[in-house]
Amino acid sequence: MSRGHRAKKKIQIGDKKYGNIVISRLINKVMQDGKKSTAEDLVYSALENGAKRVKEEDVNAFFNKAIDNIRPALEIKARRVGGANYSVPMPVSPRRQETLSVRWVVDSARKKSGKNFDVILMDELVAAFSGEGEAMKKKIDTERMAEANKAFAHFRW
């Protein structure tokens, strides 16, 4: 990227089954070694079974509520001011909120083992839907850290 110019935003298309852009990002995050069809099968299985478990009719509604519960409002960014580094709390843009929440769900599912990945991912999504789980803990920790560093908010620019 050349200096002073932002990268052009690519037009995103939704996933094949539900047409949801965030689900397509989840599929891409789950994908390993370019095996997209395998990732799609895992994600669709996790979403459908998770929606059944919480007795939600619409898979999109189930997924959106799970992701919305994990979206962080604040995060910390390091700023260098006068030779010292400060952790400055910053508001999170909606796009980054989605990115972080999808990343946290997949990362927390990958840390666990013992069952098939689609079952683990489903468990993590159901936990997020009900406001608990590893990804929710990560969100709370992030926001608590931002709250603790509120004194440095005046360094935001």
pLDDT per residue as tens digits for the range 30-53: 999 999 999 999 999 999 999 999
* Residues 21-72+94-138, CATH architecture: Orthogonal Bundle (1.10)
- What is the reported pLDDT for 2? 60
Indicate the pLDDT class of residue 155, thresholds 50, 70 and 90.
confident
| Count of other CB atoms within 10 angstroms of residue 59 | 19
In the numeric block, the tokens 């047409």 are attached to 19
Q: Collect all residues with Cβ–Cβ distance below 8 Å to 97 and sequence separation of at least 6.
A: 71, 72, 73
Q: Collect all residues with Cβ–Cβ distance below 8 Å to 11 and sequence separation of at least 6.
A: none
Q: Point out which residues pair with 80 in neighbouring strands.
A: 85
Task: Please report, for the chain, the start and end positions of each structural domain, with discontinuous segments joined by +.
Answer: 21-72+94-138
Q: Quick check: 63 pLDDT over 60? A: yes
Q: Tell me if 150 sits within 8 A of 89, measured CB to CB.
A: yes
Indicate the pLDDT class of residue 157, thresholds 50, 70 and 90.
low
Weakest mean pLDDT among 89-98, 108-117, 142-151: 142-151
The whole-number average pLDDT for the span 63-81 is 91
Q: pTM score > 0.75 for this model?
A: yes
